[in-house]
Amino acid sequence: MELPRTAPNSGGLRTRYTIETKNLSYKLCGQIDGLNWLFWKKTAGDNPYILRNVNCEARPGEMMAIAGPSGAGKSTLLEVLAGVIPPNRVSGEVLVNRQPMNARYFRRLSGYVAQEEALFPLLTVKETLMYSARLRLSGSFHTAAARVQELLKQLGLEHVANVRIGSESKRGISGGEKRRVSVGVDLVHDPAVLLIDEPTSGLDSASALHIIFLLKSMATKQGKTIVLTIHQPGFRILELFDKILLLSNGSVHHHGSLHLLEQRLRFCWSFHS
C-alpha cells in the first residue's frame, strides 16, 4: 500500500502519521562480521538480541526521545522506525497509522538525519539546501529557491546563508549551524515524520538546547511526528520531550512522559530504601 504524500506548502490538509512497534525484536544474524572475521569470531555472543520486545508509539505533534547508555540499541531502533532496516528483517510489527509499514514509500514521506554529517565543505549553506531542494522537489527553480529561503529563516541560518560549510582544516560555520543544515537537507520536502540520530552530539549546551527548541517548535506548530535519539541530555532538554523511551540492552525500561518517569523512580527509591 502506498502512503499518501503532500507537497510542501500545498495549502491542503496534510496527512499525519503515528508510528508504532509491537513486540519488536531484532537479532544478530550470526554471520561473521567484517572485523571479527579476522579473529574467526561470530558477532552473536551471549546476547544476540539488539532489540527485544520493544513496544512504543510516536504520535503527530509530539517529540519522542530514545534515550539510554551506549550500546542500548537506540540507533538501531531509530533505523527500524525510519525504514532503513526493513520490517521484514525484524520480528514483531512496525505500523504506520495502524497499517504495516511499507519501508520504500515511508522513506519518501519521512526525513532521516544520520549522526554523521555528509555535507560538502566547499558549498555554502544556501547552495547545500538548494541542491537538496532541486533533487527532492518536482517544481520549478523558483519553487525550490522559495523553499530554501523559507528554511533558512525557519532554521535561523539566514546570517550564514552565503558562508561555506567548512571542515576541520578550513574554518566555516559552527557545529550547531552544521547540525541545523543537516536537518534542513531532510526538511526541504516538508516531511510529516522526522527521525534524527543524536542531534545534540558534539554540541555545547546552548547549541544543543537551540536544536531541541527548534524541533519542538516543528512538532507543535506543524504537527510533525519527531523521533530522535539522545545521550545524556540535560534537564532543560529533557523537559521539552513529550515522551521518553528509555532503553537498556535492547529492552524498554520506560515509555512515557518525564513526569511519569520521575514518579516511577521515586517509587523505586522508596521501595528500596
Domain residue spans in the chain? 19-272
* CA proximity to 243, closest of 226, 256, 234, 262: 256
Residues 135/168, Cβ–Cβ less than 8 Å: no
Q: Is residue 170 over pLDDT 80?
A: no
Name the 3-class secondary structure at 239.
coil
Greatest C-alpha distance within the chain: 66
- Percent of the chain having pLDDT more than 70? 85
The pLDDT of residue 111: 94
31-40, 81-90, 92-101, 137-146: which has the minimum mean pLDDT?
A: 31-40
Q: Which CATH number fits domain 19-272: 3.30.9.10, 3.20.20.70, 3.40.50.300, 2.40.160.20?
A: 3.40.50.300
The pLDDT of residue 146: 94
- Burial class for 88, CB neighbours closer than 10 Å (0-12, 13-18, 19+): exposed
Do the bridges between strand 99-100 and strand 91-96 make them parallel or antiparallel, or are there none, so unpaired?
A: antiparallel
- Sequence-ordered alpha helix ranges (H) in 123-257: 125-136, 141-154, 175-185, 205-222, 235-238
Q: Is residue 53 over pLDDT 90?
A: yes
Distance of CA 123 to the CA centre of its chain: 24
- Burial class for 90, CB neighbours closer than 10 Å (0-12, 13-18, 19+): buried
The pLDDT of residue 46: 56
Average pLDDT over residues 73-98: 93
The pLDDT of residue 12: 43
Q: Residue 190: what are its φ and ψ, rounded to 5°?
A: 55, 60
